[in-house]
Structure 1
Amino acid sequence: MNGFTLLITALLIIGCSAKQVRYPDATKPCIMIDMNANLTLLLKSNSSMKAESTLDGGAKSSGECKESESSVDLLFASGVKGNLDFKFTLGADSNVMMDLALTFTPDSIFSNGDNVPRIATTVSSTKLSTMTASYTCTAPRVIKFNPVEGKDGEVYDFSMTISDVKIQAFNVTGTSYSPAEDCTAIDGLTTEAAMTTKPPVQTTEKNNETTSEAPPAPSGPSTEPTTKPPTNESTSEAPVVTTQPTKPPTNESTSEAPVTTPAKPTTPAPPVYPTPAPGAPSVNTYKAANRNGTCLMFKAGIEFTLPILVKGVNVTKTLGINKEDTSNETEFAGDCDASNTTQTMTVTFYKTSTMLMTFTKSDTGYYFSDVDITFIVDKELFPEIDREETMMVRKTFTKDQFAADKDGSYKCNDKSELEVQGVNFRTYNLQYAAFQKNITEFKSSGISECSADSDTNSVVPIAVGAALAGLVVIVLIAYLIGRKRSRQSGYEQV
């Protein structure tokens, strides 16, 4: 779909915490699954609804155990008609591949009169471990499902975020997992492609695999939130208690008691909402890796401007992705093996909003092909809004817009801006390289530049050439004037 699409959606969040599955039973399982999962179902329509359900950890509808293929179905709970099917197969290289299929009856979720069971499958198979090992991954990972069209043309869109995952679907011995292959070695999700920003304690240490460049802000670095909540001139400080040591007991009647300075009266601090800093956002670097090392590296400063409704008036708010700002709670996860022709990077910011970037191979190289952004606009993020809602922005790019050569990278230092239906998406100092083998830094050669940078770069030689031409003209004029004076001086001597 070309262009941005802004949609108010009905939302269903199906969550399961610390889910444990043993099929066919706990004593002799052929499939073992442990994970935390949240499945988000979005109905793209003009109405706004919200429903919630959970996966029943003990409900298994069916399954099978074969030498090269196994599967298990999990039922939804709370009256929702649907199930999630895990299917495991062995690839030609003896790697275990996982496919997910979601079967659901829309009316049982959204009460929209759509009673036809519908099936959504994952965009691509997920590579797990080798057949003799188990798979483990603590880092969060977003799995996208293919959209499904409803009876009246509405679209059901799904994604599932999983973390703390342990899976074994073949060669299970007893009730214990085989030695694990961690996603760190498989796809780099833990060390390079997944990072959660935590509040600083006493010292700050940057991850060697993630970098952050200082934003071009007018003020110096600060650890305080950029926008402070109103305090009504009262200061919220922790009680300060000063206690002198008690002297050993003596026979004197004048022994001193501990002296305590009364605590200052305090006012409870109002919550600090994640208000973005002024100016351009910080430039962050995101990486994804597999067994061959880092395959995807994306660097940019990113921010969005959203339309929201406050007291019946449409206003705009800006959100920036800044890993150094602890209020962002930024996480990211990359996938080098999304498919034979695509690689992906998912950035989660402000707890629940996500941006999925897809990079696709072409005949001559690759290009930034799609971006899917989901904004969860709630009162924690914007306390003044009239209503909570979910916004989805999707953009599909042509092969020529962000194209790069096979062994090179794409770069655009100038601000790139896209705006449709009031949603503004901006990048600063963008550079990325995909489908690489163990890339550690961007090469100085093979860079494909955006037109804005090319125009800027062409100004420099033109200006230098013009300056040199002007200098030549000045020298020539000075020479002619000097020659003329010299000749006149010669006549006078005669």
Structure 2
Amino acid sequence: MTRLASARPWSLGVALPLLFAAALHQGFATVAPPTTAQTTAAPHKGPERPERGQYHVSGSNGTVCLLAYMGLQLNITVNLGSQNKSVQDVMNINPNLTKSSGSCEPDRAVLQLNTDSDRTNLSFVFVLNTTSNKYHLGEVSVTAAVPDMTEPFSARNVSLDYLHGNLGHSYMCRQEQRLAVTSGFSVNAFQMQVQPFGVVENQFGAAEECQLDEDDMLIPIIVGGALAGLVLVVLLAYLIGRKRSHAGYQTI
């Protein structure tokens, strides 16, 4: 008595999903996280990554009213029409050579950074909506000495809408983000955590993460879910293949 076993069709069903899973994982790994409408993740250029600095501002009663922990990099581009050339400079803010100051009011907080013997002055102005208890970065200004320029470079924008947070909470962004200020000036912020209002006992409040961080965390979740689905497909293909294999036996 001889048994003839039918071919196992599930073997191909196992191989194809595995190949597809590897391709899917590689595809997600090479796609950059999407950017937001306000801030964008920018590839690192120019000098090495800036060192993170810890800055604070105290109110009139001596208590800390603004905290900031971040690395900062300035991107400056100036078109010199008279000389028919463009001057570009990327400058790191060295926290060891930078002094912080500023002021705090009920609905306005200012962080001023002065570095290199006052050759570079950078100012951040945060605004609080006392009705919604939400804050944002509304203004950035800078004055800096740039090579090949006889006069210091200066730029200012008073209508920005970055770094949103709730009163008593800190804004956090681990990803490098570029804050566009003017057409010729932007600030790269690295591993930023800042809280301009509602600071208690000189400590950051609960962190609210930026959209860039949330998008970066979403990719592994999608990849994991896709791989789990493919494993289920492989398992079902295997079970169906076994069932068909047993049904295909014949006795002669």
TM-score between the two structures when normalised by the length of structure 2: 0.68
Tell me how far apart the structure 2 counterparts of residues 439 and 369 of structure 1 sit (CA, whole Å): 26
Q: Which amino acid aligns with 1:296?
A: L
Q: Which amino acid aligns with 2:64?
A: T
Of 94, 97, 121 in structure 2, the residue corresponding to residue 354 of structure 1 is: 121
Tell me how far apart the structure 1 counterparts of residues 181 and 164 of structure 2 sit (CA, whole Å): 21
Of 175, 198, 221 in structure 2, the residue corresponding to residue 436 of structure 1 is: 198
1:340 alignment counterpart: 106
**Is residue 248 of structure 2 the alignment partner of residue 488 of structure 1?**
yes
Deviation of 1:364 after TM superposition, in Å, equals: 2.7
Q: Is the 8 A contact 1:359 1:368 kept in 2?
A: yes
Deviation of 1:458 after TM superposition, in Å, equals: 2.2
Over aligned residue pairs, what C-alpha RMSD do you find?
2.9
**Is residue 229 of structure 2 the alignment partner of residue 469 of structure 1?**
yes
Tell me how far apart the structure 1 counterparts of residues 87 and 227 of structure 2 sit (CA, whole Å): 48
* Structure 1: unaligned runs, 5 residues or longer: 1-216, 218-276
Q: Structure 1 457/278 Cα, relative in aligned 2: closer, same or farther at 3 Å?
A: same
Report the 3-state secondary structure (helix = DSSP H, G, I; strand = E; otherwise coil) of the residue aligned with 1:414.
coil
Deviation of 1:342 after TM superposition, in Å, equals: 0.9
Tell me how far apart the structure 2 counterparts of residues 487 and 299 of structure 1 sit (CA, whole Å): 67
Deviation of 1:473 after TM superposition, in Å, equals: 0.7
**Is residue 63 of structure 2 the alignment partner of residue 297 of structure 1?**
no
* Range 410-419 or range 358-367, more displaced: 410-419
Tell me how far apart the structure 1 counterparts of residues 76 and 228 of structure 2 sit (CA, whole Å): 48
Report the 3-state secondary structure (helix = DSSP H, G, I; strand = E; otherwise coil) of the residue aligned with 2:197.
coil
Q: Is the 8 A contact 1:307 1:423 kept in 2?
A: yes
Q: Whose relative contact order is higher, 1 or 2, with alpha carbons under 8 Å and at least 6 apart?
A: 2
TM-score between the two structures when normalised by the length of structure 1: 0.37
Tell me how far apart the structure 2 counterparts of residues 424 and 318 of structure 1 sit (CA, whole Å): 10
Deviation of 1:476 after TM superposition, in Å, equals: 0.9
Report the 3-state secondary structure (helix = DSSP H, G, I; strand = E; otherwise coil) of the residue aligned with 1:484.
helix
Tell me how far apart the structure 1 counterparts of residues 197 and 125 of structure 2 sit (CA, whole Å): 12
1:409 alignment counterpart: 170
2:186 alignment counterpart: 424
Deviation of 1:397 after TM superposition, in Å, equals: 4.2
The superposition leaves residues 147-194 of structure 1 with CA deviations (integer Å, 9 ceiling, x where unpaired) of xxxxxxxxxxxxxxxxxxxxxxxxxxxxxxxxxxxxxxxxxxxxxxxx
The superposition leaves residues 289-321 of structure 1 with CA deviations (integer Å, 9 ceiling, x where unpaired) of 344743211122111122466x94433121110
2:143 alignment counterpart: 374
Q: Structure 1 484/442 Cα, relative in aligned 2: closer, same or farther at 3 Å?
A: farther
* Structure 2: unaligned runs, 5 residues or longer: 1-43
Report the 3-state secondary structure (helix = DSSP H, G, I; strand = E; otherwise coil) of the residue aligned with 1:281.
coil
Deviation of 1:436 after TM superposition, in Å, equals: 2.0
Of 155, 168, 171 in structure 2, the residue corresponding to residue 393 of structure 1 is: 155
Report the 3-state secondary structure (helix = DSSP H, G, I; strand = E; otherwise coil) of the residue aligned with 1:354.
strand
Q: Which amino acid aligns with 2:199?
A: K
Q: Is the 8 A contact 1:294 1:436 kept in 2?
A: no
Q: Structure 1 468/436 Cα, relative in aligned 2: closer, same or farther at 3 Å?
A: same
Report the 3-state secondary structure (helix = DSSP H, G, I; strand = E; otherwise coil) of the residue aligned with 2:168.
coil
Report the 3-state secondary structure (helix = DSSP H, G, I; strand = E; otherwise coil) of the residue aligned with 2:152.
strand
Tell me how far apart the structure 2 counterparts of residues 397 and 410 of structure 1 sit (CA, whole Å): 19
2:55 alignment counterpart: 286
Q: Structure 1 371/415 Cα, relative in aligned 2: closer, same or farther at 3 Å?
A: same
Deviation of 1:431 after TM superposition, in Å, equals: 1.9
Report the 3-state secondary structure (helix = DSSP H, G, I; strand = E; otherwise coil) of the residue aligned with 2:187.
strand
Tell me how far apart the structure 2 counterparts of residues 292 and 472 of structure 1 sit (CA, whole Å): 61
Report the 3-state secondary structure (helix = DSSP H, G, I; strand = E; otherwise coil) of the residue aligned with 1:470.
helix
Report the 3-state secondary structure (helix = DSSP H, G, I; strand = E; otherwise coil) of the residue aligned with 1:403.
strand
Which runs of at least 4 in structure 1 moved beyond 6 Å after TM superposition? none
Q: Which amino acid aligns with 2:141?
A: D
Report the 3-state secondary structure (helix = DSSP H, G, I; strand = E; otherwise coil) of the residue aligned with 1:402.
strand
Question: What is the correspondence of 1:185-334 to structure 2 with a 5 Å cutoff?
Answer: 278-290=47-59, 291=61, 293-307=63-77, 312=83, 313-324=85-96, 329-334=97-102
Q: Which amino acid aligns with 2:121?
A: T
Matched residues, number = 201
Tell me how far apart the structure 2 counterparts of residues 415 and 452 of structure 1 sit (CA, whole Å): 9
More helix by share: 2
**Is residue 217 of structure 2 the alignment partner of residue 457 of structure 1?**
yes
Q: Which amino acid aligns with 2:65?
A: C
